[in-house]
Structure 1
Amino acid sequence: MSFGNRKFATNLEPLSSSQCDPELSPITNDTTMSGLELVGIILGGIPLVISALEHYKEGLRSVQIWRKYGRELSSLVRQLQLQQNILTNVFETLLEDLGLGSKVDIMVKEPFGRLWQDREIKNKLSQRLYRDYGLFEDTVKNMAEAIEEVKRKLGLDADGKVKWIEAGSWKREVKRASFTFSRGQYQELLCTLKDGNTYLETLTRHNVDLEPKRRARLQMRFFNLLRLVIRSIYHALRGSFSCRCTHGLSIELSVPKPQAGQNDADEEIVAGFLFRIGLSSAPNSPSNWKEVLLRYSRAPQLVTLSSAQSGSSKKSTKFSQISNSTVSRMTNIYSSQSVTITHTQSMSLAASSLPIAMANVKLGTSVSSPALAQIMDICSSVIKPTDGNASCCYGTVSNYTAKQFSNFEIHSTPTPHSHRETIVTLDDILRCKDDSLATLVYTNKIRMVYAISYAVLQLSQTPWLSYAPSSKNIIFIRRAESIDYNQAFVTRDVLEPSQDPASNSGGSPFVVRSPTLLALGIILIEIMLQKPFEVLRKSATPWNEATVLDPRLDIEAARKLAMRVGNEFGSTFGSAIQRCVDCNFNCENLSLDDEVFRQEFYASVVALLEENVRNAGLAC
């Protein structure tokens, strides 16, 4: 045993592999291990190495010539603890503000626990690190491999215990004497951990700093796709009515919850959209409301036919099995709930006719999977059928003028349709036209104004929303004599032509900068004060009651009423409404088609109303 060149107990090398019987590292065994799991292995592995070194340190006290190296081992232990603490801090910073709560503390306490394998946490970490995630995985893999190599040299078993620690004292002395202590090789471990932590600290700092801007860009990309698809859906639905009936199209007003990632393709993002659409017939119809779910329909997938040799040397053709009920599970972008939609009718028909269609197809030919039927008339195919099937696909509708995202599947809702459903407008509620209409409570109001302002952000300058919407365009559904005020829709008549704001000035020399935002401000005032604007305006500007068509008087009254809302419900409400009324934004272009203005509108109006919802302890 040599002690030259200040060799000390920082690299324990077994005399032969048979004596230590090392096991293969789990890092080399499992190539699919994620970077998150590797961090857990490092945080759990360092204490095991420290514990083993402490055992060796205790053993060294019985050997007089090795006692002077105890300080070296203590220094090594402290440096390992320091690197462990640095990595723990980096890990906590990476997972900060990702909505994990106490899970982070649990993961730190249980480095080999199941949470380190959680796919949702891994995806959130991947989104935060964005393009640096690959470098992150390479770095922690290198660190984990270094830890596993040291554990092997220390003779630790799978549970982190020294394999020979329970042997007799004479065997321990022989085993201890079989190791060579080299400062250089343990310094290599420390350098690997230090360099790795330095890289991880840099990656973490840069990505955490950039995340707000990335999130804003991703949100704008999400909204651009959402608005594009919403436009296409309206034209696809409107073009699929071939009857002469009076119909209304409605879309649910709720806050979208983007599930997209930075690296997701546009089609992948759109494939996750699920829209709740209301189809209404004439008001005097026995059943004047039906809800359906719409999602983007991708192009049919190609299936290649192949041949295989059987036991009797006969060629047999393999077809992809098509079940009678193909189920797709989608997540509504407006809700945290999952919805199961099923292609029962169309797919069953396609499956039964498939063998006939395939009779003369040669091997190696690519064929399309069965396509859903095209709906020619929504009135007869979707609205009128009353079979009560709560799980079916009616078919598809198409927007033939769209270059992309033009086909959409129409599915029934999971809840069976009821003939007792009727439409109630927001205007009806404000005027208390029916004694059964419940008074809006505070939580209803703040959720409603938030959802409507967000809806304007999504639907403005699309066919779904008129240039100057009113409380008559916002509807709710009465079911069994009760109304769910948390579920609202905006509605348009199918035959109603699109309006041009420039053609609706009424000959007045005064032009409103943004009729849409003024109309939004008025709707928000009506909801918070729970009265129609025409009634509220009389109390705000009674001397101008005769000239009711002058938009300047609407603005003057709305300003006063916005101050009243602020005094009664808080300054955030008043400030948000005031901006809509005065169009007081730091942008020259007040079109919601403009990305810059959408960001400004969100920050100045929607975010304030969202803050009120959160302060009330309600989910956004």
Structure 2
Amino acid sequence: MAEAVGFVLAVVPMIISACEHYGEAARGIQRYRHANKGAEDLIMMLEIQEAIFRSANIRLLASCVGRDEAHLMLGDFNHPGWKESGLIADYRARLGESQHAFTHSIKLINEHLANLRLTIDGFDKHSDVNEQDAHAHHRKLSFKKRIRLAFSQSGIEQSLESLMKKTQNFSTLIAQTEPSQSRTSETKITLSTRREIAKFARIKDAASNLYQTLGYACTKHTSHQAQLSLEPSCKVQESTRTDPLQVRFTMAFSHLTLQPQATASDLSKPSAWLTIESSVSGMIQSEADNVTLQHMQVSAKRTRDSEDDESLNASTAQATSLQKKAVRFQCAQAVAVPVVPAEEPILPNLCTNENFCLQLRNFINQASPSTKAVGYLGHQGSQRHLIYVDAKSQRVTQGKGTSLLRSLRQLLQSTNNAGPSIPILLHYERLRLAHLLSIAVLQFRSTPWLANSWNSNEILVSTHESSSTTTDDTTITNFHEPYVSACIRNPYDAPARSNTLRSRTLIRNQLLFRLGVMLLEIAFQKPLDEMKETSDTDGGDDSNADFWAADRLQHQVSACLAPRYAEVVRKCIHCDFGKDFDLTATKLQEAFYQDVVCELKRLEDLFRAASMVG
């Protein structure tokens, strides 16, 4: 391992310095472009060689970390990616037996560029022309002749031709290390993909712990209904910019959850919207106040000792009162007494006494979102979750009405039957929803938030109309935020949500198959049930009707969005990633991320750009 690290650390400085030397040589010749007509051609030759050298190195590095990451690493020797053990192994594996030739080729290019720079710097001795001299004009003419002579005598053109051969040899060497393309070539997993998978795993752990903590938070009611946003935000470490320190969730509780005895009239009351900051590592820091909430470390202890603290404070206050009555001081002059800032209130543990619902009622009617946490949730040794109360006008209801939070199934049906007064769901908006659902698979898989049998009825969508500056535009752009509706149960009662597959099912992975079905529904803007045909039933047995219907429709979906979208749907329906069918395996997660999540993001960006041009 030490040898591998030494190889990379020895080669990387040479690569980066060579990229810099190409530019330095070109800038050196640029100073004499007015004195030598052939200087422009020489500069162009250097720029071409630099582009070839950079492209070859990016091609080599991109096979290990991805193209975007390769561009960043090639310009920064201190980039953390150079220290990744996985990169070093992949880098050496790609070069194979060509490691020595690779190192020697870069060394030759570096030495050649260094000598070329010395030659160009030697031209400065010919540039001693004084503008104030009466014979300046003649000196300039003489200077140009001397520069042209210096260029010809230095053999700089021959030197650049030799450099061109060395650069071309280097590029050819890199091309020969590329693996041959087989008919069933698999996608190369990049370093950025591995980092994203690790980040999603931390989000999944935080979401799972949040569900368990909410289960212990209130045992007065047997179950609670929650709508969790599928777009959690992360605060990452500044050093790596990838490892999340805390995750910020948005969640809604309906009044039926908080008031089990509620009547129909209670449906008109606002819902309780919460923003939850869950710690992943270190201490939780409030994003609103940008102040570390250090009191969380002692808040649990203060809660347990609250009665003792109150009695102690009462006796102390009484003693202080008696002292003030007994002693009087006459001050000759005013004495400035420093004002001691009031200590910030200690955050209460809302899990105390397991009556979270009762404590939450105190904040439901809050007029504006809270800028400070009202408390935190923590059960025994679990993670701690800061609670903010957000007042929103949305209502979580199960029936029809004017609610802006409705199921994905209802949204697709309404847009499919859209009239002149109803906004349509644009292509890039559909692709954005598909992209967010695909990310939810990695963030909430194997948690009670996301059942294997999830469907468009369980996914709720919050619609926000954006303001339009044009009056003649009849298309209204909407921002759609997806939520998943889950039942939070008392941990002492029913187990978490689980799903079993029928013994005769043809579905390889239920979670990915259901994602593929929703991708079809998003494309056609219809529920799968409305698109089934009699041929989808196998001899009257409808146990696999969903599979046959989805398999038939995946051949037709390319006409709705794009052939690449159809390929994404096919892979989800058949779980065809070449990595078995168990999503708990890291290899399948990585393949799913690159082939589905990244592809849907690329399609979304493509269609969004096209809509702006149109």
Report the TM-score range of the alignment, normalised by the length of the smaller protein. 0.5 to 0.7
Q: How does 1:159-178 map to 2 (within 5 A)?
A: 162=128, 164=130, 167-169=133-135
Does 2:224 correspond to 1:277? no
For residues 94 and 372 of structure 1, what CA distance do their matches in structure 2 show? 55
Question: Cα distance 1:226–1:147, how it changes in 2: closer, same or farther (>3 A)?
Answer: same
Question: Cα distance 1:129–1:471, how it changes in 2: closer, same or farther (>3 A)?
Answer: closer
Does 2:515 correspond to 1:520? yes
Partner of 1:223: 197
Does 2:472 correspond to 1:492? no
Q: 1:251-275: per-residue Cα shift (whole Å, max 9, x none)?
A: 44359999999xx65xx52237754
Measure how far apart 1:535 and its partner are: 3.5
Question: Cα distance 1:530–1:195, how it changes in 2: closer, same or farther (>3 A)?
Answer: closer
Partner of 1:594: 585
Question: Cα distance 1:47–1:432, how it changes in 2: closer, same or farther (>3 A)?
Answer: closer
Partner of 1:419: 393
Q: 1:557-582: per-residue Cα shift (whole Å, max 9, x none)?
A: 33334345355555444444344334
Partner of 1:342: 289
Q: How does 1:344-493 map to 2 (within 5 A)?
A: 346=293, 373=347, 375-377=349-351, 380=359, 384=364, 386=366, 388-389=368-369, 391-394=371-374, 406=383, 417-422=391-396, 423-430=405-412, 440-478=425-463, 484=478, 486-493=480-487
Residue of structure 2 aligned with 1:565, choices 557, 563, 571: 557
Question: Cα distance 1:86–1:47, how it changes in 2: closer, same or farther (>3 A)?
Answer: same
**Equivalent residue letter for 2:485:** T
Q: 1:291-334: per-residue Cα shift (whole Å, max 9, x none)?
A: 52636464359xxxxxxxxxxxxxxxxxxxxxxxx98xxxxxxx
Does 2:30 correspond to 1:47? yes
For residues 176 and 364 of structure 2, what CA distance do their matches in structure 1 show? 53
For residues 207 and 410 of structure 1, what CA distance do their matches in structure 2 show? 55
**Equivalent residue letter for 2:29:** I
Residue of structure 2 aligned with 1:125, choices 75, 95, 100: 75
Q: Which piece of structure 1 moves more, 571-580 or 590-599?
A: 571-580
For residues 141 and 385 of structure 1, what CA distance do their matches in structure 2 show? 70
For residues 409 and 560 of structure 1, what CA distance do their matches in structure 2 show? 47
For residues 373 and 479 of structure 2, what CA distance do their matches in structure 1 show? 28
Count residues with an aligned counterpart. Answer: 470
Does 2:527 correspond to 1:577? no
Partner of 1:536: 531
SS at match of 2:554: helix
**Equivalent residue letter for 1:452:** L
For residues 168 and 237 of structure 1, what CA distance do their matches in structure 2 show? 87
- The question of whether the paired residues in 1 share the 8 Å contact of 2:211 and 2:449 is answered with no
Q: How does 1:138-217 map to 2 (within 5 A)?
A: 154-155=123-124, 162=128, 164=130, 167-169=133-135, 202=170, 216-217=190-191
Q: How does 1:250-265 map to 2 (within 5 A)?
A: 250-253=227-230
- TM-score w.r.t. the length of structure 2 is 0.56
For residues 176 and 378 of structure 2, what CA distance do their matches in structure 1 show? 42
For residues 399 and 202 of structure 1, what CA distance do their matches in structure 2 show? 60
Partner of 2:543: 551
Measure how far apart 1:248 and its partner are: 4.0
- The question of whether the paired residues in 1 share the 8 Å contact of 2:108 and 2:166 is answered with no
SS at match of 2:551: helix
Question: Cα distance 1:189–1:480, how it changes in 2: closer, same or farther (>3 A)?
Answer: closer
SS at match of 2:511: helix
Listed as ranges, the gaps of 5+ residues in structure 1 are: 1-32, 56-73, 99-119, 302-325, 328-339, 351-369
- The question of whether the paired residues in 1 share the 8 Å contact of 2:25 and 2:120 is answered with no
For residues 363 and 462 of structure 2, what CA distance do their matches in structure 1 show? 16
- The question of whether the paired residues in 1 share the 8 Å contact of 2:229 and 2:483 is answered with yes
- TM-score w.r.t. the length of structure 1 is 0.56
Question: Cα distance 1:419–1:342, how it changes in 2: closer, same or farther (>3 A)?
Answer: same
For residues 347 and 614 of structure 1, what CA distance do their matches in structure 2 show? 41
Measure how far apart 1:469 and its partner are: 0.7
- The question of whether the paired residues in 2 share the 8 Å contact of 1:248 and 1:281 is answered with yes
- The question of whether the paired residues in 1 share the 8 Å contact of 2:26 and 2:43 is answered with no
For residues 34 and 499 of structure 1, what CA distance do their matches in structure 2 show? 57
For residues 227 and 199 of structure 2, what CA distance do their matches in structure 1 show? 20
Does 2:33 correspond to 1:86? no
Give me the identity figure in percent: 14
Partner of 1:361: none
For residues 371 and 130 of structure 1, what CA distance do their matches in structure 2 show? 46
